[in-house]
Structure 1
Amino acid sequence: MSRPYAEVIGDPIAHSKSPLIHRFWLDRLKIEADYRATHVAADALGVYFDERRRDRDWRGCNITVPHKEAALMHVPDPGGIRQTIGAINTVFRDETGELAGTNTDAAGFWSPISALDLRDKPVAVVGAGGAARAVLFALARVGVGEVTILNRTPLKGAGLLAGFGLKGKVLPLDGPLPPAALLVNASTLGMTGQPPLHLDLGPLPDDAIVYDIVYSPLQTGLLQDADARGLDTIDGLEMLIGQAALAFELFFDAEPPRQHDDELRELLAR
């Protein structure tokens, strides 16, 4: 007997902890459904969405690297995400049963730092991909100060600054950090199987916060370096769980039981 399911897609995908999160919530709510991890190559995105569109048990998917921008070409964009963030991380069925793309990364990223006053404060962001778009969108909405983007391709970073109406500059990955109040790694550097991220954290003030959206490993080299300097840190599980909670409601029409977050974090950290 078939049952409803959602999934996460990417290339690679074996590292994803999304199935653990969604299955944890499904189990706590006693919902008869499943959540899977599915490898999808870049040249198979169109076929993937065509097949899932016809599968009535499929409730949607989360999207991870490297498909967050490319997926916009394959599903409707009713919320105008293309013109705002420019990348989607969630596809779901709307009330008519048609597919729709959205982005829960921005809200998931912002949730653990929402109490901070970052207005007019300098910020540094590593990366210029789909996740960085969500991060920059959130930062632009709260009116941060100068933004320094560190990226392999300076031209792409400059385009993002202009697109989000942010003032700042773009530096190569080995460029010097500014005295930023917040440093965000929005790249895959430091992820298991990816090159490490080496940054000199010396220029950061003592009250700076270092936020790494990578969650595999949970304690990245960047966070270890920040801890060694006595800086406050935020790990990738914060954003991962936050964005997953919003997607879960879209997939299963139920609010996830966030009162169990401590237990979930312990499970994810194993």
Structure 2
Amino acid sequence: MSHASQPSFAGSAAGRPYAEVIGDPISHSKSPLIHGFWLEKLGIAADYRATHVAPEDLPAFIEQRRTDPHWRGCNVTIPHKVAMLDLVEDPGGVRDSIGAMNTVVRREEGGLFGTNTDAAGFYGPIADLDLDGAPVAIVGAGGAARAVLFALSRMNVGKVTILNRSPLKGAALLSRFGLKGEALPLNARLPEAKLLVNTSALGMAGQPPLELDLLPLPPGAMVYDIVYAPLHTPLLDAAEARGLETIDGLEMLVGQAAAAFELFFGQPAPREHDGDLRELLIA
């Protein structure tokens, strides 16, 4: 790519502090609504927006933001979570633990570092669920799956089954996180799992649907879909039709966003307003 064709990513128009979410695609993101809601509640004079960044433009984006003193950082979504590892500092050892970054933060003294708030965001809604020795099924083997498997590896779960287009990729993740189980093709029969988590983009607006037969799941199983656009995915509809408990994508989204918000803006997110925020997000 010649210098003349380098992409340009606009910075802070008003000289105000700002953060953003980057991805490809990005128009579906609810992160600007979430962070904007919290900024308003706390009276913080800062901005948060969505920025489309194609994979080939990610290094140029980071280099431009590196020199912008108003930039506080960014949330990172599909497909940049693994590629980001090579572009910023990794003081917390994210590369060797989760292996994917979903948040980049600017240090006060300059320099950029990455972390991952997805694992905490995923864990929050199931913290009270007894998964000790319980079988779990995961759909997908991308950046979000890494955070989910990292969390599960610390919860003493039983056999973990990964369903993915590439079973080999799924098997590698099981080995990485020291989890016992197996990796199967995406169209394989579900195991009798106590928890089913969709970490893939299947079912998201503009993506193919996730077509799973939920009959093998036992009564009392939990179905957790991290897709949030649409909020009521066909997977969750099918689970509810079977009388199974469900967790939608807003739970993990808001949880991981809260951790990132404090890193960007130096104040805890006002979670006491979660009810109002949820109404805003589903409107």
TM-score above 0.5, yes or no:
yes
**Number of the residue aligned with 1:66:** 79
1:140 Cα deviation from its structure 2 partner: 0.4
**Number of the residue aligned with 1:96:** 109
Aligned AA for 2:261?
F
Partner Cα distance (2:136, 2:109) in 1: 41
TM-score (norm 1): 0.99
Partner Cα distance (1:36, 1:95) in 2: 21
Equivalent residues in 2 for 1:1-270, closer than 5 Å: 1-270=14-283
Over 4 Å off, 4+ runs: none
Partner Cα distance (1:116, 1:198) in 2: 26
CA RMSD of aligned residues (A): 0.6
Aligned AA for 2:57?
A
Partner Cα distance (2:23, 2:29) in 1: 9
Helix, strand or coil at the partner of 1:141: coil
Partner Cα distance (1:27, 1:209) in 2: 35
Helix, strand or coil at the partner of 2:153: helix
1:96 Cα deviation from its structure 2 partner: 2.6
TM-score (norm 2): 0.95
Deviations 1:27-67 (A, max 9, x none): 00010000010000000110000000000000000000010
Q: Percent identity?
A: 69
1:95 Cα deviation from its structure 2 partner: 4.1
Partner Cα distance (2:21, 2:255) in 1: 15
Structure 1 spans left out of the alignment, 5+ residues: none
Structure 2 spans left out of the alignment, 5+ residues: 1-13
Aligned AA for 2:69?
R
Aligned AA for 1:84?
S
